Amino acid sequence: MADKPKQQYPQMSDIARLAGVSKSTVSRALSGSTLVNQQTRDLVMRIAREQNYRLNTAARNFRLKESLTFAVLLPSASDVDFKLSDPFFLELLAAIAEAVDEHGHQLLLSRISPQEGEWIEEFIDKRSADGVILIGQGSHHDTIDRIAEHFKAISVWGAKISENQNYPVVGSDNVLGGRRATEHLLSRQRQRIVFLGYKSLPEVLQRYQGYCDALDVAGIAVESELVIDGCYGEADGYSAMCHLIDSGIAFDGVFAVSDVLAMSAILALKENGLQVPGQVSVVGYDDISLAAYYNPPLTTVHQNLSLGGKVLVDNLLEALAGHTPEFVSLNPGVIVRGSS
């Protein structure tokens, strides 16, 4: 199948050429300046509509130091039901909100179901947002990458998927995080370690790769019966662990790809009479605030969400200023507590 031709977006210079005026006159006309006579303003506006031209108000507002509105979007994927109430999301959102407020800008929050096409731009057009921060790519990397070829006001928390992708991401080194979590369990003399997660997401797939790498270095084969995929929330994690226990399959460690999954796994273990960490050690991922106060306190992989939120906002401001933001990989560390 042939690739779809890339949509070409008219520039201000194109409008100026068609109207027979300068770019500065087009800019003034589109902003409603009275320095341009009504007839010229009407002409420029008509040509802009005909050419489907969008005035980059975000860049203009940035130059004028006016307040911008940033939208934080939580894209839902076809097989993952993300919740706005998820503790990880709420803590990252708080960090983003603080960073936006420090710069004197405003925040808009929404959960969306991405469709084919220019869904980011359509959202911005409808909601009057100057730029977007996406929490995770979900299964929409290709769509985001295509949009980012021409729309640069995007900042993403997630995983670097391709060396040549058009949008930068901020996130922890997920392969390293998964490897360190598994290495910690191995250091506790655990040999049959369960992977509990949802590999359909890029970040989680990378954590799984780290899990496999650590086992390989230790000379332990990955056993399919210990890889539990398709667990997205606490109910899934609890049910999966209960099913594993009922199956009689032996295991002595659990690496869960989120703290919420780890906590649900601990609940299932305790309700089935298994001691944590006496019989089974458990490690989560994220280091949400509740992790330190769980029973037992949860060993987990720390993600610096405070720094992550700041960098996400800084990247968006860099893009609006016409610069190319860098990919930022945060160093994950294991916080050892009572569950392991």
Please write the tens of the pLDDT for every residue from 275-286: 999 999 999 999
Pairing of strands 253-256, 193-196: parallel
What's the pLDDT band for 112 if we cut at 50, 70, 90? low
pLDDT at 109: 81
Distance CA 313, CA 98 (A): 10
Is residue 197 within 8 Å of 165, Cβ to Cβ? Answer: no
* Residue 27: per-residue pLDDT: 72
DSSP for 128-188, written as a single string: T-SEEEEE--TT-HHHHHHHTTT---EEEES----TT-SS-EEEE-HHHHHHHHHHHHHHT
Task: Please count the residues of the chain.
Answer: 340
* Whether pLDDT at 4 is above 60: no
pLDDT band at 325 (very low <50, low <70, confident <90, very high): confident
Spatial CA neighbour of 70 closest among 113, 13, 129: 129
* 137: pLDDT strictly greater than 80: no
Most confident segment among 108-112, 157-161, 335-339: 335-339
Q: Which of the listed ranges 104-113, 135-144, 230-239 does the model predict with the highest average pLDDT?
A: 230-239
The CATH homologous superfamily to which domain 174-302 belongs is Response regulator (3.40.50.2300)
Assess contact for 73 and 134: CB atoms under 8 A. Answer: yes
Q: Where are the domains of the chain?
A: 12-55, 69-172+305-330, 174-302
> Is residue 119 very low, low, confident or very high in pLDDT (cuts 50, 70, 90)?
low
Which residue type does 206 have?
Q
Residue that wins the pLDDT comparison between 229 and 30:
229
Strands 169-172 and 154-157: parallel
pLDDT digits (tens, 9 = 90+) for 148-177: 877 788 899 988 888 888 888 999 999 999
pLDDT at 31 over 80: no
| Per-residue pLDDT, 3 | 45
Highest mean pLDDT among 17-21, 76-80, 118-122, 124-128: 17-21
CATH architecture of 69-172+305-330: 3-Layer(aba) Sandwich (3.40)
Q: From residue 48, give the alpha-carbon distance in Å to each of 45, 53, 90, 207.
A: 5, 5, 40, 47
pLDDT tens readout for residues 240-259: 999 999 999 999 999 999 99
Taking residues 87-97, report their average pLDDT: 92
The reply to whether 69-172+305-330 and 174-302 are identical in fold is yes
Give the pairing type, strands 131-135 and 106-112.
unpaired
Nearest of 324, 3, 310, 285 to residue 157 by alpha carbon: 310
Tokens of 326: 């860098």
Confidence of residue 1 (pLDDT cuts 50, 70, 90): very low
Q: How far apart are CA 203 and CA 311, in angstroms?
A: 18
Q: How far apart (Å, rounded) are the C-alpha atoms in residues 308 and 311?
A: 5
Contact 261, 197 (CB under 8 A): yes
Question: For residues 309 and 114, what is the distance between their CA atoms, to the nearest angstrom?
Answer: 23
- Ranked by mean pLDDT, the top range of 43-47, 112-116, 328-332 is 328-332
Stretch 135-151: mean pLDDT, rounded? 78
Residue 191's contacts (CB-CB under 8 Å, 6 or more residues apart) are: 220, 252, 253
The residue-averaged pLDDT of 5-15 equals 66
Task: Reply yes or no on whether the pLDDT at 303 is more than 90.
Answer: yes
**For position 115, what pLDDT does the model report?**
54
Work out the mean pLDDT of the chain and round it to a whole number: 85
Amino acid identity for residue 127 in this structure? R
